[in-house]
A = this chain, B = another copy of it.
């Protein structure tokens, strides 16, 4: 089913995205175009307090022109190990350190037009310290009971895909262990 690159029709290199429009040959010989942005990859952290509350950050998202509730997350730096990036992002955005880390899964957030690959980690045994966000990130965080975040997913108050996955994954685990 492979689609073979023939030539690049358009491209623009940005700060972390690289936009491309390529002419490709499909496996049936048909010529078509494929459009995408490449992305450095990312981590998301499902951080649960001893009180069974999920740590959610609130920030303005310029692409969607609104403030979203999301799990702490961020892009990988060049050559960075995802597990280390997860610890870094959780500390930067919330100040929490976690005594226990578990990899949950890795997935493509939008494979129709991007190669962003997101690694999700569960962080528990949280120890609060001081957050130190990037100077160009304005972020606050809340801890919200798991029963409440499930409602927020069902009623659409949580609109971020990776955060929906985080909440539903916790519900699945809860069900397995009960």
Could you tell me which residues of chain A, from 14 to 36, have a CB within 8 Å of some CB in chain B? 14-17, 19, 21-22, 24, 26-28, 30, 32-36
Residue of B2, B34, B138, B165 near A26 (CB, 8 A) is B138
The A contact surface, by secondary structure, is mixed
| Residue pair B33, A15 in contact (C-beta under 8 Å) | yes
Tell me the number of copies of this protein: 2
Residue of B12, B58, B63 near A113 (CB, 8 A) is B63
> Can you identify 25 A-B contacts, CB atoms within 8 angstroms?
A1-B59, A10-B12, A10-B14, A11-B12, A14-B19, A16-B113, A17-B19, A17-B36, A22-B62, A24-B62, A26-B138, A32-B136, A34-B62, A36-B62, A37-B63, A42-B112, A63-B114, A63-B115, A64-B117, A65-B115, A68-B111, A107-B164, A111-B160, A161-B162, A171-B171
